[in-house]
Amino acid sequence: MRDIHILDVSLRDGSHSMKHQYSEQQVRDIARGLNQAGVEYFEVAHGDGLGGSSLQYGLSAVDELKLIEAAANECTDSKVAVLLIPGIGIKDDLKNAVNAGAKMARVATHVTEADISAQHIAYSRELGLKTAGFLMMAHMAPTSVIVEQAKLFESYGAEIVYVTDSAGYLLPDQVTERIRALKENIGCEIGFHAHNNMSLAMANSLAAIEAGATYIDGSLRALGAGSGNTQTEVLVAVLQRMGIQTGVDLYNIIDVANDIVAPILPRPQEISGSSLIMGYAGVYSSFLLHTEKASKQFGVDERDILVELGRRKTVGGQEDLIYEVAQSLRK
- Annotated ligand binding at 139? The verdict is no
pLDDT of residue 240: 97
195 is in an annotated binding site: yes
- Residue 259 CB: number of other CB atoms within 10 A? 11
Query: Is 166 assigned to a binding site?
Result: yes
Question: Residue 172: is its pLDDT beyond 80?
Answer: yes
* 1 has pLDDT over 80: no
**What is the C-alpha separation between 242 and 220, in angstroms, rounded?**
20
- Domain ranges in the chain with CATH number 1.10.8.60: 273-330
Nearest to 247 by CA among 274, 216, 220: 216
d(CA 209, CA 174): 13
Report whether pLDDT(268) > 90. Answer: no
Portions of the chain given CATH number 3.20.20.70: 5-264
Bridge partners of residue 131, in order along the sequence:
105
- Give the mean pLDDT of 156-183: 98
Domain 5-264 has CATH 3.20.20.70: yes
Catalytic residues: 16
Nearest Cα residue to 221 out of 205, 191, 245, 201:
201
Is residue 98 predicted with pLDDT exceeding 90?
yes
Nearest CA-CA partner of 66 in 84, 48, 45, 42: 45
- Mean pLDDT value across residues 232-254: 98
Over residues 18-23, mean pLDDT: 97
Q: CA–CA separation, 194 vs 57, rounded Å?
A: 21
Task: Give the pLDDT score at 273.
Answer: 85
Average pLDDT of the residues in 118-130: 98
In whole angstroms, what is the distance from residue 291 CA to residue 297 CA?
A: 10
Neighbours of 266 (CB within 10 A): 12
Specify the CATH class of 273-330 in words. Answer: mainly alpha
Q: Does 169 carry a binding-site annotation?
A: no
To the question of whether residue 267 is assigned a binding role by annotation, the answer is no
pLDDT of residue 257: 98
Dist CA 247 CA 237 (whole Å): 12
